[in-house]
Structure 1
Amino acid sequence: MRPRLSDIAKQAGVSEATVSRVLNDRPGVGTATRQAVLTALDVLGYERPALLRKHSAGLVGLVVPELENPIFPLFAQVISTELAAAGYTPVLCTQNPGGVTEDEYVDMLRERHVSGIVFVSGLHADTAADHQRYRDLAESGLPLVFLTGYVDGVAAPCFSCDDTLAATLAVEHLAALGHTRIGLISGPERFIPVQRKISGYTRAMADVGEPLVELTLFGVEGGAAAAGRLYDAGATAILCGSDLMALGAVQEARTRGMSVPKDISIVGYDDSPLIAYTDPPLTTLRQPVRAMATAAVRALLDEVAGQPAPTSEYLFRPELVVRGSTGPHST
């Protein structure tokens, strides 16, 4: 489809004459204005004229599962900032139940000739999904990187927080406070991060006490429901698979008239923005989001530049952040 100067000018916030000069690669246009026009061209889905392609880095797809969990907007923010600094325009694709699927987003991104795609906690983290989709993408020559989850046999780098270590650190912290009835709440077991948390938790509990595992839906509601079952089972401390699930556990405790951390200690996972300001401030395992996201972008840009892509997974160490939601076991 032939680009309409009026549409591009409106999107970029410039005159049609300026758009014309940029599209014809004529002088007299500032760098920032030129980039604004090229970005507008990309966003509107127009193919750049051949003589301009050498001047622009282009688009990069950023596929995230949803934005309700605060950790995903944080990933998106860091990745977008790093891409923009390198001259690329991120195209954010978020998924909602019943909405556009990951595969549909990928088709759209390929139609727009993106330079590469960053997948954050997508189907690559789901062991029940068909990962051939990623092998086909990689074999087509499209640069890819994955965050949170490993895809075996795909020529693309993966960057994850060490979930096995995270669960181990949490159990060690709670055991040091005197807890032996320590429960784990997490999402469906088919997800790689969940499997790793269960593995780390189970091994750490070997010298502490009986494992108490409740798997549920991600989110506040799932955390509350699973916490209720653990409270009934006599748990005095709980490790949650996300900060949102931990907030659900706190909510359920208060519904039952329990005090956190006097009656129950709760540990989250992620260290999402604002989680330090909850009541009580949440003890949690911090994902090194900035380091992970920056490394992923740099790896993608190396791929775009034609450098060989590693096929291994890079694990980043979590940090235990102790706040007010954990305390000594009361006898």
Structure 2
Amino acid sequence: MAPTKRTRMSDLAKVAGVSTATVSRVLSGRPGVKEETRRVVLDAMNELGYARETASGKRNGVVAVVVPELSNPAFPAFVEELDILLFAAGQANVVCPAGNSGTSELQHLETLQGLNVSGVISVSGTPADSLGSNEHYRRLIESGVPTVFINGYAPDLRGAFFSCSDVEAVSASVTHLRTLGHERIGLAIGSERYLPARRKAEGFEALGFPRDSIASTIFTVEGGQLAAARLIDAGHTAVICGSDIMALGAIREARSRGLSVPGDLSVVGFDDSPLMAFTDPGLTTIRQPVRAMCEAAVTALLEGLGGSPLDRSELLFHPDLIIRNSTGPVS
């Protein structure tokens, strides 16, 4: 007899006529859902025979969510969404921040191998670092722990991979700036040892921009300021940044020179982190589809926990350009 197909939250959302986020809120018991909507979702659960498994079922143990740090607001956004989705599926999870000043990613994974961890979701982990070693993930996977990666890709690992399309992000940013009359456009990114930065640089050069229009520093405010200084000195009128944090650094550098944003310099960020709509000026930025990426990652992980093999191909997600006040016509 063929196995019954697992009902997913997206199936519930389709039948109930609501968003997947609403389904997650209902399943996790969170507030903010009308009683009528809640009943519709519960009816859909009954119709589809959806049942959450708890820690006492076959999904015992916890899922570890490994992130580089929590000080960068882009990563807590992923953590929050993953927590909502995992909790809704009846799966406990623990967050393992692997910052430079704390416990390393390797130390976390070595610890997890000795615990009852049922699965791992890695956000921007070592598979995104060309100089890093994936051996610790390989050992974890070989021990039978399903592992899913967000914004990191290593084809030699038996995991599932979900990434935001950096090439599309750069293309959308360039198109927007060109409609405003900008041709001297620069790219400010972190070290190209990291996959997202390298892909942005490749996409930028593919659009016909010279190599000297790319400034690689680090993904910090200071890094953005340094990169912007180089690009402004070279005559660029617009800067596309590899993160919102770098974009804030670029704006700081412009203002330190007495330049206005966007009057003298247009700036585009990446991530659409919380509060970017409330900066001065509001930041034009690329929004990663965090919810969709996390939903796909959790779905793949749950299928892996159920014994299904993970699809090792990388699934790329389309980003959205969010236009605010940090970009304007070339002066």
Q: Calculate the TM-score normalised by the size of structure 2.
A: 0.81
- Secondary structure of the residue that 2:95 maps to in structure 1? strand
- Secondary structure of the residue that 2:253 maps to in structure 1? helix
Aligned 8 A contact 1:146 1:157 in 2: yes
Aligned 8 A contact 1:64 1:121 in 2: yes
Match of 1:267 in 2: 268
CA positional deviation for 1:96: 2.1
Match of 2:118 in 1: 115
Deviations 1:262-288 (A, max 9, x none): 000000001111111111111111100
2:146 to 130, 143, 148: 143
Counting only pairs closer than 5 Å after superposition, residues 119-138 of structure 1 correspond to structure 2 as: 119-138=122-141
CA positional deviation for 1:88: 1.4
Amino acid at match of 1:122: G
* 2:193 is aligned with 1:190: yes
Amino acid at match of 1:164: V
* 2:329 is aligned with 1:318: no
Aligned 8 A contact 2:59 2:118 in 1: no
* 2:106 is aligned with 1:103: yes
Q: CA separation in 2, counterparts of 1:193 and 1:210?
A: 17
1:180 to 183, 191, 198: 183
Larger Rg: 1
Match of 1:219 in 2: 220
Aligned 8 A contact 1:214 1:226 in 2: yes
Q: CA separation in 2, counterparts of 1:54 and 1:204?
A: 52
CA positional deviation for 1:155: 1.3
Match of 1:278 in 2: 279
Match of 1:154 in 2: 157
- Between 128-137 and 82-91, the greater mean CA deviation after superposition: 128-137
Counting only pairs closer than 5 Å after superposition, residues 44-55 of structure 1 correspond to structure 2 as: 53-54=56-57
Q: CA separation in 2, counterparts of 1:82 and 1:133?
A: 26
CA change 1:91–1:174 in 2 (3 A) is same
* 2:94 is aligned with 1:91: yes
Aligned 8 A contact 1:171 1:205 in 2: no
CA positional deviation for 1:178: 1.0
Counting only pairs closer than 5 Å after superposition, residues 62-73 of structure 1 correspond to structure 2 as: 62-73=65-76
Deviations 1:35-93 (A, max 9, x none): xxxxxxxxxxxxxxxxx854764311010000111110000000011111111111111
Deviations 1:179-235 (A, max 9, x none): 1111100000111111110011111235xx775110001111110111111111111
CA change 1:119–1:270 in 2 (3 A) is same
Q: CA separation in 2, counterparts of 1:297 and 1:239?
A: 31
Q: CA separation in 2, counterparts of 1:53 and 1:166?
A: 43
- Between 136-145 and 62-71, the greater mean CA deviation after superposition: 136-145
Amino acid at match of 1:156: G
CA positional deviation for 1:110: 2.1
Match of 2:36 in 1: none
- Secondary structure of the residue that 1:303 maps to in structure 2? helix
Q: Could you list the runs of 5+ residues in structure 2 that have no partner in the other structure?
A: 1-28, 30-54
* 2:172 is aligned with 1:169: yes
CA RMSD of aligned residues (A): 1.6
Aligned 8 A contact 2:109 2:136 in 1: no
Q: CA separation in 2, counterparts of 1:295 and 1:211?
A: 37
- Secondary structure of the residue that 2:102 maps to in structure 1? coil
Q: Calculate the TM-score normalised by the size of structure 1.
A: 0.81
Q: CA separation in 2, counterparts of 1:299 and 1:55?
A: 16
Amino acid at match of 2:198: Q
* 2:307 is aligned with 1:306: yes
Aligned 8 A contact 2:109 2:137 in 1: no
Aligned 8 A contact 1:118 1:146 in 2: yes
Q: CA separation in 1, counterparts of 2:322 and 2:128?
A: 25
Q: Could you list the runs of 5+ residues in structure 1 that have no partner in the other structure?
A: 1-31, 33-51
Q: CA separation in 1, counterparts of 2:211 and 2:105?
A: 39
Q: CA separation in 2, counterparts of 1:231 and 1:320?
A: 23
Amino acid at match of 1:67: L
Q: CA separation in 1, counterparts of 2:100 and 2:150?
A: 21
1:204 to 203, 207, 210: 207
Aligned 8 A contact 1:182 1:211 in 2: no
Q: CA separation in 1, counterparts of 2:211 and 2:82?
A: 41
Q: CA separation in 2, counterparts of 1:176 and 1:202?
A: 19
Amino acid at match of 2:144: G
CA positional deviation for 1:243: 0.4
Q: CA separation in 2, counterparts of 1:124 and 1:162?
A: 16
